[in-house]
Every structure is written in C-alpha cells, then in structure tokens.
C-alpha cells in the first residue's frame, strides 16, 4: 500500500492506493502546531492498516510557511572578506519602477551577525589568499553569545572549488556539534554570490524547524507501527527520505504544488499524452506548468515573495517551473481607478469566502459569478446559498456601474478571469515557441474543471482532460513519484575549446555524488537512472536554453550534433539562431532518479449506461448563445466510454466540469473526462 | 458600434501583455550585459498615430522616449504613407524623436492588418558600443556629438522584410564590438516582430474594429487616471534650484532651476532660466528631459498600473532653446543622464515637502557609471565593463532610506555579481560593502552609499567614471541632514594615492592598481533629535552609523 498525505491550511488530505490498484481519498482537519496529529487522525479515520503501508509519502508547506511567516531561527553568516554586505545590497533592482518609496527585501541575517573571514579564490577556483581558520573561533563564539541557532557559510567562487567552505564547515561541525551548519556548495553550485548566499541563509533559517517537524512526525509514525519507507515530496517533483530532507530542507520549498504537475506527467504517460499543459485552479491562485515530450521543466530561477512590485528572495533550488497568477474561485471582482473591471488577486479566502457561502462575504467572487450564470447550482454548496444576496451585491458593485444586466456582469467576471488565466497559459506555451495544438490541457484543483473547456478551446489544444479525483490531484501525484535529485553545476566553456574528457569527468563526479545520495536512501543500484542536460547559450548572451543530451549523442570533433540541437532549440524558443556565433556551455544539470516500486492503476469495468446519471436540466448562460437549457450529469454514475454532448455540466463532490456547445466529453478507461471539439 | 465592455477589457489585457512579452523576449536573447543585467531597454506598442498604448520597461527613463520616436518617424515618412509592411526603422538621434544619447538605439516597425496601418511596435536599448572616441561610447570629455559615435537619423534597416546590408556593414565597421551590437539588434528586431505577430493575432480573434476601440478606451482611461490624480495634489507654484556638476578639479557647477505649477487642469514644469548648454557631454536634449519629467510625474501620481500616452496629456514642459536641459545640435550628450536626472530631481525637491507620502528625501541621483576596458588575462581578446552603481536613497516620512539601490533613472536594473565580473573582465573585486555613516541622519536615516573596489589584473586597462553628487550632496528634508557625497580614489600599485574626485576621464589603469568607488548616501528626513533610542542603538550595533553620529543624536535628546 502507498499512502500520500498533503497538509493544507484547512484540511489534511489523504490519498492511498491499495495493492489491487484501487484509489481511496479522505480528509480531516489540519492540526496546527502538531501537524503529525492531523496525519494520524486522517489515517485512523480511513481505517488504513498501518502495518500494511509500504511507502509513506508526505507533502508539507512547513518550509514556505516558516519563510513567509518569518518564524525560523536566528542565523549567523560567514562570508569572504569584503563581502558580508552582499546579502543586503542584493541586486539593487526596483521592480516597482515609479514607486520612490520602494522598500527592498530585508535580509534574513542582520548586519551584526554577518562576519568575514580572510580567504580568497579567483574565478578559476585557485586559492589566491589562504584561509585563516583561526578567525572562525571568535566568530562562532560571538554567534553563540548572540543565540545563533544555525550558521550559513558562503565564500566567493565556491561553486567551482569548495575547499575553504569545506574546511570551515568541518571545523565548526567538529568543534561545535550542537550548531547546525550549511555551506553553500552543499545546496547550490551555481555562480552569482548573492543568490547562492541567500539560498544558503534561507536553508539555515528553516533547518532547525524542519528537523524538529520531521523528527516529531517520524516518532509519531513509529508509535503507530508505521515501519514503511518514509518520504517527503521535494520541489523538483521527486521524493527524498526523511534524513535527506533534514540535510537539505530548502528542497521542500514547493513540496505540495509541484506534485500536481508531476501527477499530470504520470497521467499523461498512462493515457499516452507526452505534451501537456498542467493547470491547477485553487481558491486564491491558478498555477500552470508545461510538460514537453514527457519532461517536466525544472529551474533554479525560483523566488519567494517576488511579484511585479517586489524583488523577493531568490532560492537556487531545483523547482518545477510553475507560473502562478492571483485568480481562483475566491478571487474578488472590483472596479479599478480608471473604471475597468478586474478579478483578483485579492481573494475572499475560505472565510468569509464568496457571498455564496453566506458567512458575511460582501464582495462578489468568481464563484458567485458561476452561480449567477447557472454554471454552479446552490445544491453544489454545503452552505445555504442566498442568491438574492449575490444579485443585490453584484448589482450594486458591478452591474450598475456598467449599465448591464446582472447575468452579463457575472459573465464579464468569468471572461476577465478566463482572460487572466489564458494569458498565463499563453505565457508558458505560445510565448515559449510551442504550438498548443500539440498539447493536452490537464485541469485540476477545485476550480480547474469549471474553466478548462473554455480555455482549452481558446488555446486550441488537442483535448482537455479533467482527471479522476481532480480536486485532490496533487496528493494523487505523490503516490506516483520516485526519489529524485537535481544537481546543477556551473561550468563555463565554449564549445570550440571543449575538452570531452574534462566534461566526462565533471559528469562522473556528479553521478558519483548523486548515486551515493540515492544508495543511502535505500535505492538499489539497478533502479538508479540518470538524465543529462546542458544549459547553453550563444557566447555573449546571458540566458540559457536547456538541452537534453541524448544518450546516443556522439561528440564529434566539432560537436556538430550538439550545435545543431542548440540552434534548433534556440530558434524554436526565440525565433532566431546565430549560426556564425560560438556556443558555450554554462552549466551541467544531472537528474538522478531512484525508482520505487509502484502499483498499477486499475481500469474501470465496462458497464451499461445508467439513466440516473442525468440529474436535471437547468438554464446556463453561455458566452455566445445566452441562456441554454443544459443537462447536468453525476460524474460518479457515468460509465467507461460514455459520451456526452455539450452543452452539459458534469458534477462531482468537490467540483463541476462545464462543457460548451459544439464540444463533447468522453469518459476514458480510468474515469478521466476527455473534452474535445465536435468537428462538423 | 455596440460592444460588450468586458470584451474591450479582455482585448486591453492582451495588448498590455504584448508589451511585457516583447520585453521578456528581448531580455532572454540579447548579447550585452547592459541589456540583460541592467535591463537598459524598453519595448512598446503605439497606435497608428504614435501614441503609447502599452510598454514593457526595465529602466524608468525610456518610458517617455518611445512615442516621440514613433511620432518622428511617422512625420519623416510622409505622415506614415511611405511606410510598408515589413519595414523597420533605426533611430538614435538625440535631438529628434526619443533621444537620450547615441548609445540608446531605437527601432520602429509599422504594423499592418489587411493592408491598413493600425499600430507600431517599437523598442529602444542601450548598445554597449556605437563607436566614437572612447570604448563603450561613454564619453566623458567630448565637446560635440560627432565624437560620440555613429548616428542613425531614422532610416530603414529593413525594407519590406529585406535587410539593408549596407547599413549592417556600416555598423560593423564603425563599432568596436560589432558582434555584441548586431546581436542586440537582432534581438530587438525579433522582439518587434513578436509584437507585430501578436497584434495581428488579436485582430484575427476579435476583429480590427474592436481592437481600435479598445485602444481608444485605454488612452481615455489613462487620461482619466491622471485627471483624478491631479485633483489630489496641492495646487500652487513650487520652486527649486540646484546644480549640474562639471569637471571635478575645476569645481565647475551649472545652475538649473524649475518652477512647478499645479492647477486643476495642468502640471507645468518650467525650466526656463537654467544654464545654457555646455561643451561637456552632460547636456540633455528636450526629449531626454521630457522622458525623465514623465518618470517624475508617474512617481508623483503613484500607484498607477497602466501607463500610456493618455496619462501624460496634462503634462507641460517649458524650456529655453539650447539650455543644459534642452540642448540642440551639436551639443555633446553622452552623459546626458546628468542633466536629465538633475532636471527631474528639481521637481522632486520642489514637491518633497508638499507630498511627503509620495516622495522621500534626495537620493544618489546619478547613474554613477563605471567603464573599464583592456586586455584579459591569458587571452587575446579585450574586455569592456560598463555598469551603473548602487547608492543610498533618501528617508521617507516614516521609514529609513534604502541602502544600495540604483537611481531613479534606472529601475529593474541589476548589479553585476562579483563572480560574473571576475569571470568576464580582467579585474578582481576586493570589496563590495555599505559605507558606514554615509546616510544623512534624521528622525529617519538616509540609506547608505556603497563602496566597490576594483583591482586591475592586467596592464594597460583604461578607466572612465562619472559619479554625480561629488561636489553637492543628496538633500535632506524636514530637518534631516544631507547624505555623504560620492568619491572616487585611485590607489596605484606603487602606493601613491591620487586625490579623490567624482569624474575620471579615460586614464591608465595597470595591474595591481585599485579604484575605490564610493556612491553617495541618501538624505535624512525629520529632526535627528527625534530619532528613537532603539533605532540609534540598532544602527550602532549594525554599524550603519558612526559613534560620532550617535553621540550627536543622543546629546540633543
């Protein structure tokens, strides 16, 4: 049995797969302060046989919450002489261009806890000033006096030669075993000292909290006789065992959300779709990510608290490339200072929530607009919906201002929300040089199914898929994941002077380190596999294109094949190539997978059509056609291979799927809904 | 035409995102650090008359330069009639269109839909090289524009999609780093074409008439926003004067002044009476001034989400012909940001007390440019480092000034990481730190200036530097003190220290020599005696202030 638990703000989700390949879902309240209680509660509630668990997988927002709520521990930073202020100067940028009251992000370590050591390497990694190790003693002593709980170390050029970082780390670990220490080379081997320093500092900042959290969870599981393998989801879409997660906690920064993208990749494999746009609509935000040729894109260009007005904090950890916008079911509709209708990013949250909840919400949201247009019905809510109240507020705040009917205003809200989502989806697809008609849209989360059919049509994707149990799809994704590490090593070299032996040596070093990591986590050698990528660019450019290095790639004398691959991908991404320019490698990216045994999903049985699947017909308001009497179906009663023509709505416990006129929906072998355009 | 108002909003969203998309495309593909680290460029869409509709912007200064550039091209090509589909025009003339200096090279592309001219796609970016007397085309001692580089008066570099090879060859043989400059040009052209393609797609989807209506609405909304913002501003006439700094050692200073008049309908900036243009490259043209006055206007009417031509319809600028802030040919303008930002800072200074919630005390003001060139270690090729510098910003009415930020004329500008600088250029960075005590004290303290020390790793390098505020200091407000001024010191390897200054003209810089660059600290805000004890203690503990500064504040409490 594989069990996945995902802790959210309100609920702790549980999804598990029994040995027959059947899936079960449950949820219980999250227990802040003692999250492990909530996990055991939901497992008890679902009556799982604890000792029958083989793999326990956990998704957690502990890292991101500790960072954004600033609840981590006091950190001391040690840097190269002359560079302790790098963390504070940061990059000097002002994204809110015209705001002269702009405030830059405050560093996580105050200036008096940032100390310098005499040592220096040059850009080639050669020591030009030897390390004066004796200076470290006083520094650590002053940290102890100031109640520092974790120490971060970042020296210049350590990405190419970590010798001084290693010496200082070893010294502190031996002499002061009670203090947690992280050196930059242990988590990031890319150049740019500010980004690397900040990543290291943030890792140290969360490490004591994360260690405690995992220790408590482990203890609780053992008390309850769970002797299984225990894993945590990392931001790269793979798992790590508990020890590895404690060593490198920053890898958990996007532990939850990435699992959905990874789930989309697995689902794609299952049903034969390798090009996928994964699209997740929650209460506050919508997230999307592109999967091309079965590959989830991993990047280290990740920030927290960054938006169009704030520089945020860079974290150079491998994270699934996700674009997030402030548009979800609870997004509030409002009129801006120039009289234009806007939706989001402010959300009504779960309390008071949309007007529909009747909990005192006084601002119209996307969910309310779905009700007014008949796309949702009052029966879909656990609350007593007061439609008069929604209409009253909608009229007062929106309709009267534009002199339109309430239903047109509600449709306007949906259109603006769709437009926002569409722009995000275009950003990751068309604008990166991909043709959406080669892709399938997989929509999940509470609100994905409501917008998916429209977005799929506008994007012109091949088909739109609403997966089975789409509302808990992220946890579903966890059940399917393997152990994974991503190592990125900056290594700048022009192809014209590339020495293949040196390159191979670099690969072998990375392979050795990562095999070791996976072996330590109990993966047998034959289950470990590697994929190589090169980040490359034209000489003189800054940004790189990531090239998958095919296993059969032959490194001929001029690296012609590699050049060709690069030119091709560059042109696809940016609409031009420079065949006369030399090309350089900037970094090596090694993906190491430790495969875990999985359970195959079970196909649905063939069954005759069930007439009671049709719940009712009701009036639904559509963009071009106005009100249409629309059939409403119960998803649980639709059978394998059943086809329903649009317009239609398919309802399930936590979400509803809207199908437009001239579309059809088919139930596939696994119960997924496949929406396609009807070609006349 | 009766159109659903929400569809117009949806079209508007598409138009706005096109500006951003062009911006990102350019950043990702450019070849020079000025583009990708400093993001010293802007992209925009205008309507068929050249009115700015949407833009993507990295530095503030370019916001006002796009539409005058397009309008110049429309006028030059027979009111647009001599423009065809696939044409791309290159222009960098500072005195006409969107001129700052020759290094900022602009492109304009007419966009046609079914044969009708409906819009323009345009961008402007800082090329690392456009030729001229000094490497990097950053010229500190030019006396006329002809020394500053190659001039593009607005000519077709593409005609109906076909490249004019002649122009390419002229560029190749007139600039020092043709690969970089032409690489940037290709990136700019690609971004223009992205804009063209996207506009045409939007017309395909919604119909060209609705797109036009949406553009009209967008411009109208901009004007409405500005009108409302003006209502909230204090009415009256406000004055300020200051200096543009000349050479360091002669201590020359040129007075400039402004009279800002705010009425119910207009925001008028009158720079008449400022010093006449000079034979130093610190002049700016009228268009340069207009660009930075527009930036200042946007800062005053913050927060604003969508910036287009409509927003600027209430703005009026008055100048004398041929002044230091409205120079005419052939005045040199290579370092035009001195006059350009100086002019905008006057408006800031005049209004800081009037709208304290919008404007903090004075900041480093200057782009603080650094240029080092010369041979690399173990390599045949030369390097060229061009960068702006970070310094202190002024304190606000309820917060301390920011430490180490780029000036108002920059924006989404990034400093060059030490590890990248050392990998690419023949220098070592010995120090990058905050300057203790450099912020003006006050109830709220000015932000700290920054020290950066470069050491040459090879012989025969050249060094050019222009730091503003080396004679004058960033101003305080409401009793807050001035910040420390800038300073640049050369330490030769033989131990000789050359006297400090703010400006260095193309001097020798040899292996083992050091240059110590110190940018200004920001002005303080409010009476220093009112600073809280906790704030003073925290500043002392963290080394943000000197003990003398602390004593000064304590002793008066």
B93 vs B65: CA distance, rounded Å: 12
Least CB-CB distance to B9: which of A82, A89, A341? A341
Name residue B507's beta-bridge partners.
B463
- Strand order, beta sheet including B88-91: B52-57, B41-47, B116-126, B104-113, B88-91, B153-159, B162-163
Q: Which pLDDT score is estimated for B542?
A: 97
B314 vs B230: CA distance, rounded Å: 9
Least CB-CB distance to B434: which of A88, A195, A492? A88
Cβ–Cβ of B408/A104 closer than 8 Å?
no
B519 vs B497: CA distance, rounded Å: 19
Least CB-CB distance to B415: which of A91, A492, A576? A91
Least CB-CB distance to A542: which of B21, B36, B419? B36
Q: Which pLDDT score is estimated for A109?
A: 98
Q: Using a CB-CB distance cutoff of 8 angstroms, which residues of chain A are in contact with residue B434?
A: 85, 88-89, 111
**Can you give the pTM of this predicted structure?**
0.91
Q: Which pLDDT score is estimated for A572?
A: 78
- What confidence tens digit (pLDDT) does each residue in A111-136 have? 999 999 999 999 999 999 999 999 99
- Range 209-248 of B in CB contact (< 8 A) with A: 221-222, 224-225, 228
- What confidence tens digit (pLDDT) does each residue in B494-512 have? 999 998 889 998 899 999 9
Q: Using a CB-CB distance cutoff of 8 angstroms, which residues of chain A are in contact with residue B402?
A: 102-104
At residue B462, the 3 state secondary structure works out as strand
Say if B197 is an interface residue toward chain A (CB within 8 Å). Answer: no
Rounded mean pLDDT, B280-294: 94
* Cα dihedral sign, B156-B160-B161-B162: negative
Q: Is the pLDDT of residue A446 over 90?
A: no
Q: Which two tokens stand for residue B9?
A: 């909003």
Give the pLDDT band (50/70/90) at residue A32. confident
Q: Using a CB-CB distance cutoff of 8 angstroms, which residues of chain B are in contact with residue A541?
A: 29-31, 36, 183
Interface test mutation site (partner B, options A338, A431, A543, max chain B beta carbons within 10 A) = A338
Cβ–Cβ of A543/B29 closer than 8 Å?
yes
Least CB-CB distance to A95: which of B224, B412, B417? B412
Q: Using a CB-CB distance cutoff of 8 angstroms, which residues of chain B are in contact with residue A91?
A: 414-415
Closest B-chain CA to A412 = B6
Name residue A153's beta-bridge partners.
A78, A183
Query: What is the torsion angle, in degrees rounded to the nearest 10, for the CA atoms of residue B290, residue B293, residue B294 and residue B300?
Result: -170
Name residue A101's beta-bridge partners.
none
Task: Please tell me the least confidently modeled range out of A260-274, B10-24, B272-286, B426-440.
Answer: B10-24
Say if A619 is an interface residue toward chain B (CB within 8 Å). Answer: no
Q: Using a CB-CB distance cutoff of 8 angstroms, which residues of chain B are in contact with residue A159?
A: 419
Q: How many residues does chain B have?
A: 557
- What confidence tens digit (pLDDT) does each residue in B321-371 have? 999 999 999 999 999 999 999 999 999 999 999 999 999 999 999 999 999
Distance between B433 CA and the closest CA of chain A, angstroms: 5
- Range 282-321 of A in CB contact (< 8 A) with B: none
Q: Which two tokens stand for residue A255?
A: 């532990």
Instruction: Report ipTM for this prediction.
Output: 0.94
Query: What is the torsion angle, in degrees rounded to the nearest 10, for the CA atoms of residue B64, residue B68, residue B73 and residue B78?
Result: 160
Cα–Cα distance list, A123 to A539, B270, B480 (Å): 18, 51, 43
At residue B323, the 3 state secondary structure works out as strand
Instruction: State the DSSP code for A50.
Output: G
Closest B-chain CA to A573 = B25
Say if B17 is an interface residue toward chain A (CB within 8 Å). Answer: yes
- Range 98-127 of A in CB contact (< 8 A) with B: 98-104, 110-112, 122-123
Q: Using a CB-CB distance cutoff of 8 angstroms, which residues of chain B are in contact with residue A123?
A: 419, 422-423
Task: Please tell me the least confidently modeled range out of A628-637, B44-53, B114-123, B246-255.
Answer: B246-255
Q: Is the pLDDT of residue A360 over 70?
A: yes
Closest B-chain CA to A413 = B6
Say if B302 is an interface residue toward chain A (CB within 8 Å). Answer: yes
- What confidence tens digit (pLDDT) does each residue in B207-246 have? 999 999 999 999 999 999 999 999 999 999 999 999 999 8
Cβ–Cβ of A575/B27 closer than 8 Å?
no
A123 vs B140: CA distance, rounded Å: 31
Q: Is the pLDDT of residue B319 over 90?
A: yes
Closest A-chain CA to B33 = A542
Q: Using a CB-CB distance cutoff of 8 angstroms, which residues of chain A are in contact with residue B429?
A: 82
Enumerate helices (H) and strands (E) in chain A, giving the number of each: 16, 35
- Range 446-475 of B in CB contact (< 8 A) with A: 450, 453
- Range 384-413 of A in CB contact (< 8 A) with B: 402, 404, 408, 411-412
DSSP for B103-136, written as a single string: TEEEEEEEEEETTEEEEEEEEEEE-S---SSSGG
- Range 166-195 of A in CB contact (< 8 A) with B: 191-195
Say if A575 is an interface residue toward chain B (CB within 8 Å). Answer: yes
Say if B422 is an interface residue toward chain A (CB within 8 Å). Answer: yes
Q: Which pLDDT score is estimated for B271?
A: 98
H-type alpha helices, B104-239 = 165-174, 178-206, 208-232
Q: Which pLDDT score is estimated for B37?
A: 60
Sequence-distant (6+) residues with CB within 8 A of A598 are: A2, A479, A480
Say if B423 is an interface residue toward chain A (CB within 8 Å). Answer: yes
A82 vs B432: CA distance, rounded Å: 6
**In contact, B150 and B131? CB cutoff 8 Å:** yes
Angle between helices B178-206 and B165-174 (to 10 degrees): 140
Rounded mean pLDDT, B309-326: 96
Q: Using a CB-CB distance cutoff of 8 angstroms, which residues of chain A are in contact with residue B5?
A: 341, 402, 404, 412
DSSP for A343-412, written as a single string: EEEEE-TTTT-SGGG-SS--S-BHHHHHHHTTSS-GGG-SS---HHHHHHHHIIIIIHHHT--HHHHHHH
Interface test mutation site (partner B, options A76, A94, A303, A583, max chain B beta carbons within 10 A) = A94
User: Pick from B498, B525, B528: which is nearest to B513 by CA?
Assistant: B498
- Asked, as a colleague might, if the bond just before B330 is cis with ω within 30 of 0, I would say yes
| Maximum Cα interatomic distance, chain B, rounded to a whole number of Å | 79
Tell me the pairing of strands B236-245 and B253-262: antiparallel
Rounded mean pLDDT, B435-454: 97
Say if A586 is an interface residue toward chain B (CB within 8 Å). Answer: no
Say if B292 is an interface residue toward chain A (CB within 8 Å). Answer: no
Rounded mean pLDDT, B476-491: 97
Rounded mean pLDDT, A200-225: 95
User: Pick from A116, A193, A198, A197: which is nearest to A157 by CA?
Assistant: A193
Cα atoms found within 13 Å of the Cα of residue B147, Cβ hemisphere only: 17
Q: Which pLDDT score is estimated for B1?
A: 54
A56 vs A4: CA distance, rounded Å: 6
Q: Which two tokens stand for residue B544?
A: 């943000």
Q: Using a CB-CB distance cutoff of 8 angstroms, which residues of chain B are in contact with residue A543?
A: 27-29, 36
- Range 327-356 of A in CB contact (< 8 A) with B: 336-341
Q: Using a CB-CB distance cutoff of 8 angstroms, which residues of chain B are in contact with residue A102?
A: 402, 405
Give the pLDDT band (50/70/90) at residue B468. very high
Q: Is the pLDDT of residue A575 over 80?
A: no
User: Pick from A107, A118, A117: which is nearest to A85 by CA?
Assistant: A107
Cβ–Cβ of B403/A88 closer than 8 Å?
yes
Where residue A512 falls (left for φ over 0; alpha for ψ -120 to 50; beta otherwise) is alpha
Q: Using a CB-CB distance cutoff of 8 angstroms, which residues of chain A are in contact with residue B31?
A: 538, 540-541
High-pLDDT (> 90) share of chain B, %: 75
Q: Using a CB-CB distance cutoff of 8 angstroms, which residues of chain A are in contact with residue B299?
A: 98-100
User: Pick from A376, A370, A604: which is nearest to A468 by CA?
Assistant: A604
Spell out where B446-542 has E strands.
450-456, 461-466, 487-491, 497-501, 503-509, 514-518
Say if A613 is an interface residue toward chain B (CB within 8 Å). Answer: no
A290 vs A503: CA distance, rounded Å: 30
> Distance of alpha carbon A204 from its chain centroid, rounded?
22
Cβ–Cβ of B27/A86 closer than 8 Å?
no
């Amino acid at each position: 049995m594989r069990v996945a638990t995902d802790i959210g703000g309100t609920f702790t989700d549980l999804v598990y797969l029994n040995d027959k390949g059947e899936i079960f879902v449950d949820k219980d309240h999250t227990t802040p302060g003692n999250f492990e209680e909530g996990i055991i509660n939901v497992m008890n509630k679902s009556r799982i046989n604890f000792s029958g668990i083989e793999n326990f997988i956990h998704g957690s927002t502990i890292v991101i919450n500790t960072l954004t709520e600033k609840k981590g521990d006091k950190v001391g930073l040690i840097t190269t002489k002359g560079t302790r202020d790098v963390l504070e100067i940061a990059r000097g940028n002002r994204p809110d261009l015209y705001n002269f009251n702009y405030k830059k992000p405050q560093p996580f370590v105050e200036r008096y806890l940032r100390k310098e050591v005499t040592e220096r390497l040059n850009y080639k990694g050669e020591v030009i000033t030897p390390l004066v190790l004796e200076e470290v003693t006083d520094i650590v002593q002053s940290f102890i006096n100031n109640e520092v709980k974790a120490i971060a170390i970042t020296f210049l050029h350590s990405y190419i030669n970590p010798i001084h970082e290693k010496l200082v780390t070893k010294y502190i670990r031996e002499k002061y075993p009670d203090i947690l220490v992280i050196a930059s080379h242990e988590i990031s081997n890319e150049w740019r000292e500010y980004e690397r320093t900040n990543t290291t500092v943030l890792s140290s900042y969360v490490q004591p909290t994360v260690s405690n959290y995992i220790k408590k969870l482990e203890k609780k599981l053992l008390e309850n006789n769970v002797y299984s393998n225990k894993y945590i989801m990392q931001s790269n879409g793979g798992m790590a065992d508990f020890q590895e997660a404690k060593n490198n906690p920053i890898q958990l920064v996007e532990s939850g959300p990435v699992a959905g993208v990874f789930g989309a990749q697995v689902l794609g494999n299952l049903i034969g779709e390798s090009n996928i746009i994964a699209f997740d609509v929650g209460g506050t935000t919508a997230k999307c990510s592109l999967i091309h040729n079965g590959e989830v894109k991993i990047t280290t260009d990740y920030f927290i608290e960054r938006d169009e007005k704030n520089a945020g904090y860079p974290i150079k950890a491998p994270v699934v490339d996700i674009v997030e916008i402030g548009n979800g079911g609870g997004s509030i509709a409002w009129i801006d200072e120039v009289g234009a209708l806007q939706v989001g990013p402010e959300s009504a949250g779960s309390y008071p929530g949309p007007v529909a909840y009747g909990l005192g919400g006084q601002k119209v949201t996307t969910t309310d607009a779905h009700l007014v247009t008949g796309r949702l019905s009052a029966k879909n809510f656990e609350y007593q919906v007061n439609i008069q109240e929604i209409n009253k507020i909608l009229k007062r705040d929106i309709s009267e201002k534009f002199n339109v009917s309430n239903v047109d205003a509600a449709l306007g809200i949906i259109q603006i929300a769709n437009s926002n989502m569409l722009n995000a989806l275009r950003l990751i697809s068309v604008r990166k040089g991909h043709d959406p008609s080669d892709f399938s849209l997989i929509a999940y989360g509470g609100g994905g199914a409501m917008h998916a059919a429209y977005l799929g049509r506008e994007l012109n994707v091949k088909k739109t898929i609403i997966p089975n149990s789409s509302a808990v799809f992220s946890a579903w994704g966890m059940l399917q994941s393997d152990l994974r590490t991503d190592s990125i090593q900056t290594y700048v070299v022009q192809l014209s002077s590339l020495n293949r032996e040196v390159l191979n040596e670099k690969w072998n070093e990375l392979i050795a380190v990562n095999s070791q990591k996976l072996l330590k986590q109990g993966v047998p050698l034959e289950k470990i596999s590697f994929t190589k990528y090169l980040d490359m660019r034209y000489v003189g450019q800054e940004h790189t294109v990531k090239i998958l290095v095919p296993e059969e790639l032959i490194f001929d004398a001029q690296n012609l094949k590699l050049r060709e691959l690069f030119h091709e991908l560059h042109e696809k991404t940016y609409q031009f190539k420079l065949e006369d320019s030399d090309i350089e490698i900037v970094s090596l990216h090694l993906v190491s997978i430790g495969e875990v045994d999985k359970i195959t999903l079970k196909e649905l049985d063939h069954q005759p059509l069930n007439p009671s699947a049709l719940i009712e017909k009701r009036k639904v308001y559509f963009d071009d056609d106005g009100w249409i009497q629309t059939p409403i179906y119960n998803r649980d009663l639709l059978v394998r291979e059943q086809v329903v023509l649009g317009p239609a709505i398919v309802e399930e416990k936590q979400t509803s799927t809207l199908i437009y006129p001239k579309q059809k929906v088919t139930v596939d072998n696994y119960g997924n809904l496949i929406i396609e355009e009807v070609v006349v | 035409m009766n159109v659903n108002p929400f569809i117009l909003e949806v079209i508007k969203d598409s138009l706005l995102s096109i500006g951003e998309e062009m911006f990102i495309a350019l950043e990702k593909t450019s070849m020079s650090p000025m583009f990708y680290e400093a993001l010293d460029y802007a992209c925009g869409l205008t309507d068929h008359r050249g009115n700015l509709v949407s833009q993507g912007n990295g530095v503030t200064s370019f916001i006002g330069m796009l539409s005058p550039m397009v309008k110049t091209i429309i006028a030059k090509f027979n009111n647009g009639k001599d423009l065809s589909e696939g044409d791309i025009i290159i222009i960098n003339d500072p005195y006409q269109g969107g001129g700052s200096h020759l290094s900022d090279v602009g492109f304009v592309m007419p966009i046609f839909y079914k044969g009708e001219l409906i819009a323009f796609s345009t961008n402007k970016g800082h090329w690392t090289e456009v030729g001229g007397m000094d490497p990097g085309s950053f010229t500190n001692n030019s006396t006329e524009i002809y020394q500053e580089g190659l001039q593009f008066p607005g000519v077709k570099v593409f005609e109906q999609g076909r490249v004019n090879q002649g122009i390419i060859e002229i560029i190749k043989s007139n600039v020092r780093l043709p690969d970089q400059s032409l690489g940037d040009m290709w990136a700019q052209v690609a971004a223009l074409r992205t804009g063209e393609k996207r506009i045409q797609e939007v017309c395909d989807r919604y119909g060209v008439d609705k797109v036009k209506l949406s553009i009209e609405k967008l411009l109208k909304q901009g004007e409405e926003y500005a009108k409302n913002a003006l209502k909230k501003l204090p009415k009256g006439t406000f004055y300020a004067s200051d200096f543009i700094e000349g050479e360091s050692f002669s201590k020359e200073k040129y007075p400039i002044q402004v009279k800002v008049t705010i009425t119910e309908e207009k925001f008028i900036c009158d720079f008449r009476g400022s010093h006449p243009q000079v034979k130093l490259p610190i002049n700016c043209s009228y268009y340069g001034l207009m660009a930075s006055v527009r930036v200042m206007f946007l800062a005053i009417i913050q927060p604003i989400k969508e910036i287009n031509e409509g927003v600027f319809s209430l703005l009026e600028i008055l100048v004398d012909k041929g002044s230091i802030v409205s120079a005419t040919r052939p005045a040199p303008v290579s370092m035009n940001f001195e006059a350009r930002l100086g002019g905008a800072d006057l408006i800031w200074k005049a209004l800081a007390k009037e709208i304290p919630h919008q404007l903090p005390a004075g900041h480093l003001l200057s782009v603080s440019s650094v240029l080092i060139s010369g041979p690399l270690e173990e390599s045949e090729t030369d390097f060229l480092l061009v960068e702006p510098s970070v310094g202190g910003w002024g304190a606000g009415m309820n917060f301390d000034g920011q430490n180490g930020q780029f000036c108002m004329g920059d924006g989404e500008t990034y400093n060059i990481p030490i590890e990248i600088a050392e990998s690419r250029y023949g220098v070592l960075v010995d120090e990058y730190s905050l300057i203790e005590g450099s912020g003006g004290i006050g109830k709220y303290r000015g932000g700290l200036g920054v020290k950066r020390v470069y050491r040459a790793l090879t012989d025969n390098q050249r060094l050019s530097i222009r730091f503003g505020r080396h004679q004058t200091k960033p101003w305080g407000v409401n009793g807050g003190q001035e910040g420390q001024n800038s300073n640049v010191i050369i330490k030769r390897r033989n131990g000789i220290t050359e006297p400090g200054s703010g400006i260095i003209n193309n001097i020798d810089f040899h292996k083992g020599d050091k240059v110590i660059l110190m940018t200004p600290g920001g002005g303080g805000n409010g009476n220093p005696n009112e600073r809280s004890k906790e704030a003073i203690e925290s500043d002392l503990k963290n080394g943000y202030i000197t003990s003398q500064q602390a004593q000064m504040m304590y002793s008066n409490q």
